[in-house]
Amino acid sequence: MSDFQRIATNHLKFRLYLITRLPSAFFAGLRITHFDAGACAVTVPYKWFTRNPFRSTYFACLAMAAEMSTGILVMNQLFNRKPPVSMLVVRLEANYHKKATGRTRFRCADGPAIQSAVEAAITTGEGQTVRACATGTNSNGDLVAEFYITWSFKVKSK
């Protein structure tokens, strides 16, 4: 287990990170339910803070959980990296399949592709992108939404 994985899977440290750096994710109730080098799963509940007037989870809250499931994998690759590498979301695509009326779980299994893109950015010195997929399912396992988040990586200049 990497140092970053130990921090991210520590409930208290993760909650402190959210309240100080991503307060909307804290108040939305995002939780990491699975995390290893290859995959990450994040849940978002259906509650007062995350709902829309149509009695479903607001699309932006779904996007936040989807992005976090990919972003945790990215941060795992960049944590204490020498040389330092910058990360940036450059594209977001979404497909909605079903109304999100309960807890939605987003899973991304693109850890190896993210690692390859980061390594290529360091090796070549050129900016690299990777398109990560996060699929959201409800408690019945039905597909709710698919998000495709394109991340850009570039070695930071001194």
Domain locations along the chain: 3-155
| Spatial separation of the C-alpha atoms in residues 57 and 31, rounded to whole Å | 15
φ, ψ dihedrals at 38, nearest 5°: -100, -25
Instruction: Identify whether 83 is preceded by a cis peptide bond (ω within 30 of 0).
Output: yes
pTM equals: 0.94
- Candidates 52, 31, 49; CA nearest to 105 is 31
Q: What is the pLDDT of residue 2?
A: 80
Strand arrangement, sheet containing 85-96: 31-35, 40-44, 104-108, 128-137, 143-155, 85-96
CB 151 within 8 A of CB 74: yes
Could you count the other beta carbons within 10 Å of the beta carbon of residue 40? 29
Let me know how long the chain is: 158
| Spatial separation of the C-alpha atoms in residues 35 and 124, rounded to whole Å | 29
Q: What is the pLDDT of residue 118?
A: 97
Domain topology for 3-155: Thiol Ester Dehydrase; Chain A (3.10.129)
CA 25 to chain centre: 11
Task: Provide the residue-wise pLDDT of the chain in tens; the chain has 158 residues.
Answer: 788 899 899 999 999 999 999 999 999 999 999 999 999 999 999 999 999 999 999 999 999 999 999 999 999 999 999 999 999 999 999 999 999 999 999 999 999 999 999 999 999 999 999 999 999 999 999 999 999 999 999 999 87
